[in-house]
Amino acid sequence: MHELSIVLSIIDEIGDESEARGLHNVEVVHLKVGIFSGVDRGALLFAWELACEGTPLERSRLDIETVPLVIYCSVCRQNRTPPSLYRLCCPECKTPSETVVTGRELEVVSLEVAA
C-alpha cells in the first residue's frame, strides 16, 4: 500500500498552494485518479482520514473522480474503451494497442474553500 505516501504528497502540495494563494479552510479536495494509475480509491480515502489528523485539512473531505481507461486504436483511428484493464485492444476491430490515452491520471484538480 503506497497510498499513504501519495496522500502525504497531496497534503504537501495543498499546503504549498494554500500558502502561496493565502487559502484557509479547505473543505473539499477534488482529485482525479485514473483507473490504471496503480492507486486504489478505498486505500486513498482511508489514508486521507489518518494523514489529515492534526493538520489544517483535518475537517476536509477527499472527493475522487475516477478516470476510465481509454486507448487509441490505430486501425479505427479512434479513442476506444478496451474490454478490460487486462486486455488492451480495440473492442471493435480487436487490434492490440499500447497507446494509453487516459487512465493513468493522478492529479489534484481543485479545492473548495470557505468563502
Partner 1 sequence: MSTRIVEIRAKVMKQNDLLAHLLRERFKTSGVSVVGLVSSPGSGKTAFLEKLLSGLARDFRVAALVGDLATENDAARLKRATPNVRQITTGTICHLDAQMIEKALEGWQLDALDFLFIENVGNLVCPSSYDLGEELRFVLLSATEGEDKPLKYPTIFNSSDVAIITKMDMAEAAEFDVAAARRNIEDVRPGMQIFEVSAKTGSGMQDVFQFLRDQLAHSLETRPALQIETAQ
What is the smallest separation between the CB atom of 93 and partner 1, expressed in angstroms? Answer: 13
Nearest to 72 by CA among 49, 42, 92, 86: 92
Relative orientation angle of helices 3-21 and 41-52, to the nearest 10 degrees: 60
From the list 29-37, 49-57, 58-66, the region that binds partner 1 by CB under 8 A is: 29-37
Q: Which of 23, 45, 64, 70 binds partner 1 (CB under 8 A)?
A: 23
Q: How far is the CB of 54 from partner 1 (least distance, A)?
A: 20
Provide CB contacts within 8 A for 47, sequence distance 6+: 1, 3, 4, 6, 7
Among 49, 78, 96, 101, binds partner 1 (CB under 8 A): 96
How far is residue 114 from each of residues 28, 46, 51, 105, measured CA to CA in Å? 9, 24, 21, 27
9 sits near partner 1 (criterion: CB under 8 A)? yes
Residues that bind partner 1 (CB under 8 A): 1-2, 5-6, 9-10, 12-14, 17, 21, 23, 27-28, 31, 36-39, 85-89, 96-98, 100, 106-115
